[in-house]
Structure 1
Amino acid sequence: MKFQQYQNLKKNLFPFNEQNVLNDRYKKEDINPRQLNPLVLAYVGDAYYHLYIRTRLLNFEQAHVHLLNDFSMQIVSATFQVQAYEAIKDELTETESYIFKRGKNAKSHAPRVASVHDYHISTGFEAILGYLYLNNEQNRLDFLCERSFLQVAKNMYQAHQQ
């Protein structure tokens, strides 16, 4: 996207009418998660996973915000999301596997803090979560997030025991 196009999109992102009412461009029922860009699914999945992990950590610590932040940032990192994906990959449905592949293969720029491989795997993992969230599959989403969390927690525990 060219800079001018980007600036125009930013300028007109929130369309208010003459009565100062915000007009959504899309209706909720018009959003088809299967047709969304996989990076958009990953964007939503990343936000959901952050919230899930932060909330889940409250079962272990409720007073020390710095510790909660340290653990949550570590768990949601690309490296640990690879572990999360490994914990669920054999249980994915055909659709979830398809969404994962789309996310993993999406063209994007890997950050400097993760390997390209880990970044692509984590993008696929997040795309699955975003898809499930937008598809209102809360039970499945909770199941996969919990399965992932338990494996990551187990790996962290074992690493600290050595």
Structure 2
Amino acid sequence: MRVETDEIDRQLLTALQDNARLTSAELAQMTGLSQSPCWRRVKRLEEAGVIKGYQARLDRRALGYGVNAFVMVGIDHQDAVSSRAFEEAVRAIPEVVLFHGISGPADFMLLVVARDLDAYSELLQKRLHRLPGVKQLQTFFSLQEFKGFGGLPIPE
């Protein structure tokens, strides 16, 4: 369900999405509100589920992950039990950083990070190929990132 926002809410969301470490005093100064009303607005946006949490964005290369791979997965069948087993097994793999059910010839798309091609090959053979119900895997390696996930556009 979409939450209605006004211009000040949008300023707060933009500012927090760019830098979640801003204090309520800094946010208040940016929006022209006093600190208490500003804090109440942020709290309302959190309670409404617009702000789901706060986290640091880490640089995968600085952490030693040189490989970024998109893995398309086809599974044998999707009943409730087998789908749940597959989903739980994928969630348990730390190198899978995004996991989506998709339309098209594949059933799921994973974004996987690995130190290098050898590490990816090992992950593929020992974990991904052994996921419950996997029929087919197809890997697409990212050669160059032009735009990463930097945040959502704030609707007017």
Range into which the TM-score falls when normalised by the shorter chain: under 0.3
User: Whose helix fraction is larger, Structure 1's or Structure 2's?
Assistant: 1
RCO greater where, 1 or 2, for CA within 8 Å and sep 6 or more? 1
User: Whose strand fraction is larger, Structure 1's or Structure 2's?
Assistant: 2
Greater C-alpha Rg: 2
Q: TM-score, normalised by structure 1?
A: 0.24
